[in-house]
Structure 1
Amino acid sequence: MSAHMTQQQRAQRTDAAHEAALAAAREVGLNPTEPAILHDLFSVVVHLAPEPVVARIPTVLPPGTDPHQVAARQQHELDVAQWLHEQGTPVIAPSPLVPREPVRRDAFSITFWQYVDEAPGAEPDYAANAAHTPALHRALRDYPGDLGFLAAADPASLTSDLARLHQHPELIDAQDLERAQQEWQLLQPLVTSRARFEQAFPDTPLQPVHGDSPPANIFTSTGGPLYADFELVSLGPVEWDLGGLPDELVQAYDRSARDQGMHESDPDVLAFVNAVGKLRVIATLALVPQLPVLADHLTPAVQEWKKGPFAGGLHL
């Protein structure tokens, strides 16, 4: 059983990511003399002040993650965000001051984004954000690039993380882990095979989707709401972007979609998405040794999953 990261070790990781971002910024011609860390959880996010540029550095990744896969995913994110920006969709766009590609520095892969001022006193309005999401789906429909089917689910990491949890009985009971692995055995074919998914849900259209709950990733800037954080952009059903949301937010999405003449959410597809999402939560327990604070955030969702029906009650 591997030891959990201490606060000191986490601070050292943050410092290393920060220094890597500064060095990478200087390499591409920026002069960050007053940098400030804006966020530090799964990624370290640094405003490279006085430059109007933000660096984002993923730091909490499944053990054994291939750095080339990380860079490929980041390139998809940069390309999608830039394309949306060029179409006039309100997004936080890649910085135009540096090449639009990830920069490898030390053990980190770094991307650069435009700095945007947050509206004073801004509080997230998740119902409004859910109502904004159909417009994003409409914009994404025409994206010309190739995206992996349900790549946001990261099935390879989900499989390996569930296996890794056998080494951490303090994080999940053996009986619960066995149930999670049995659920994943049922759901995995539909996540890894577009053909199997389409066979199960023949009336469900597929398109590019944000991949990571856009209602929770809309930034309230001084100029209005901006879609952000396309790290998990994928090909999939629009329901993927509604996974884990309470009913009232799904209803807000559906009302907005209906008003725009767009596809509303399908309850069966949403049940599938939620079942996969709950397994992703279980698998994320494997990252607790790298980020111990995660345990407090994940515990309520794990308890909810334990009370629910096997695989969300799906009959596949």
Structure 2
Amino acid sequence: MTDFATPEDIAKRSNAAKEAAVAAGRELGLEITEGKVLYELFSVVVHLAPSPVVARIPTVLPHTTTLEDLARRQQQELDVAQWLHDQGTPVIAPSPLVPRKPVQRDGFSITFWPFTDEDKSSEPDYVRNSELAADLHKALRDYPGELDFLSSAEPRFVREGLDRLESQPDVVDPADLQRAKQEWQVLEPLVSDETEFQKAFPGIDLQPFHGDSPPANIFASTNGPLFSDFELVTKGPVEWDLGGLGPELEAAYNRGAAKNGLRPLDKDVLRFVNAVGAIRVMAYLSCADQLPAMVEFMKPFINQWRGTEPYVR
């Protein structure tokens, strides 16, 4: 049986992350009387009150991610968000009150963002957000920084995560795991090597993109929608950002793409990114010992994947 973290363990971890953020913020010169936890799941998000600054601290991490790896990814996020802001793109940019770099303290790596008021007057409009994602893709085409190819797919983690799940039949059904590993043998070369991807999908242009479903990461601020959470920013086919969202939202994106002079989504590439995304979801269950709620949360995704045809080429 998997040894899951208890609610007490998770509360202790969240409190340690909050205290690390408060201490780091004070060292940077911020006035902080208390840390108010705004959100916690894979990360802990803390308002460093009364300063208008929010700290984000990733706490549930793949076994392959070191603090150095995390800091590198966070620096890319900070740089991309700042560059987009400088170009006039509506984003949550890094806090201007502290240096634009991650801070490591007490085993955590922390980034700092402005406290932004949320408009809670309506539910998220994912159709509109999917159309707006094309605006983001157009803006990102000119990003001058270096990004790795499909780093958001985390191929090494997926491979090793699937291997780790072999000893956790209480988390993933062995038949599901066997199918996932067979599909990953086909998919891994395509997410690991830009040349192999281009051989498989000739003519598909590659560019910087958000990496973590921008339609789900548009923050409804009181001053309008803002793109946020570029933790998985990377380079590759834009289809990745629309993976798993279905025909209605794909059609909405295509409307936005047409307005921006961009190509429509490619059905074959969508099938590819959907397959990669499903196996990546399963691999993340190897982290369920850190966040037991993940098992129930991921079930609908696994059930949907069971109903699809295995990915073969």
Which category of TM-score, normalised to the shorter sequence, fits these structures?
over 0.9
CA shift for structure 1 position 145: 0.3
Question: 1-side partners of 2:186 and 2:88: how far apart?
Answer: 41
Question: 1-side partners of 2:126 and 2:175: how far apart?
Answer: 35
Aligned to 2:188: 188
Question: 2-side partners of 1:288 and 1:218: how far apart?
Answer: 27
Give 3-state SS (helix, strand or coil) of 1:49's partner: strand
- Structure 2 counterpart of 1:33, one-letter code: T
Give 3-state SS (helix, strand or coil) of 1:48's partner: strand
Q: Is the 8 A contact 1:32 1:48 kept in 2?
A: yes
Aligned to 1:88: 88
Question: 2-side partners of 1:79 and 1:173: how far apart?
Answer: 41
Aligned to 1:169: 169
Aligned to 2:281: 281
Question: 2-side partners of 1:121 and 1:50: how far apart?
Answer: 25
Alignment map for 1:260-275 (pairs within 5 Å): 260-275=260-275
Q: Is the 8 A contact 1:20 1:106 kept in 2?
A: yes
- Structure 2 counterpart of 1:91, one-letter code: V
- Structure 2 counterpart of 1:100, one-letter code: R
CA shift for structure 1 position 269: 0.5
Give 3-state SS (helix, strand or coil) of 1:226's partner: strand
- Structure 2 counterpart of 1:243, one-letter code: G
- Structure 2 counterpart of 1:143, one-letter code: Y
Aligned to 1:292: 292
> How big is the alpha-carbon RMSD for the aligned residues of Structure 1 and Structure 2?
1.0
Aligned to 2:148: 148
Alignment map for 1:114-129 (pairs within 5 Å): 114-129=114-129
Q: Is the 8 A contact 2:22 2:34 kept in 1?
A: no
Question: 2-side partners of 1:286 and 1:209: how far apart?
Answer: 26
Check if 1:244 corresponds to 2:244: yes
Aligned to 2:73: 73
- Structure 1 counterpart of 2:13, one-letter code: R
Q: Is the 8 A contact 1:122 1:220 kept in 2?
A: no
Aligned to 1:100: 100
- Structure 1 counterpart of 2:88, one-letter code: G
Question: 2-side partners of 1:137 and 1:300: how far apart?
Answer: 29
CA distances 1:221-244 after superposition (whole Å, capped 9, x unpaired): 000000000000000111010001
Question: 1-side partners of 2:68 and 2:249: how far apart?
Answer: 36
Question: 2-side partners of 1:237 and 1:101: how far apart?
Answer: 28
Question: 2-side partners of 1:163 and 1:291: how far apart?
Answer: 19
- Structure 2 counterpart of 1:209, one-letter code: F
CA shift for structure 1 position 301: 1.0
CA shift for structure 1 position 174: 1.8
Aligned to 2:231: 231
TM (norm. structure 1) is 0.97
| Larger deviation, residues 59-68 vs 265-274 | 59-68
CA shift for structure 1 position 64: 4.5
Name structure 1 gaps, 5 residues minimum: none
Aligned to 2:48: 48
Question: 2-side partners of 1:80 and 1:281: how far apart?
Answer: 25
CA shift for structure 1 position 65: 2.1
Q: Is the 8 A contact 1:140 1:207 kept in 2?
A: yes
Question: 2-side partners of 1:131 and 1:182: how far apart?
Answer: 35
Question: 1-side partners of 2:32 and 2:167: how far apart?
Answer: 42
CA distances 1:31-81 after superposition (whole Å, capped 9, x unpaired): 211421111000000011111111000000012421110000000000000
TM (norm. structure 2) is 0.98
Question: 2-side partners of 1:250 and 1:115: how far apart?
Answer: 32
| Larger deviation, residues 62-71 vs 232-241 | 62-71
Give 3-state SS (helix, strand or coil) of 2:32's partner: coil
Check if 1:6 corresponds to 2:3: no
Aligned to 1:199: 199
Name structure 2 gaps, 5 residues minimum: none
- Structure 1 counterpart of 2:37, one-letter code: I
CA shift for structure 1 position 123: 1.9
Question: 1-side partners of 2:109 and 2:259: how far apart?
Answer: 41
CA shift for structure 1 position 2: 4.2
> Residues 41 and 222 (structure 1 numbering): CA distance in 2 closer, same or farther, change over 3 Å?
same
Question: 1-side partners of 2:75 and 2:56: how far apart?
Answer: 13
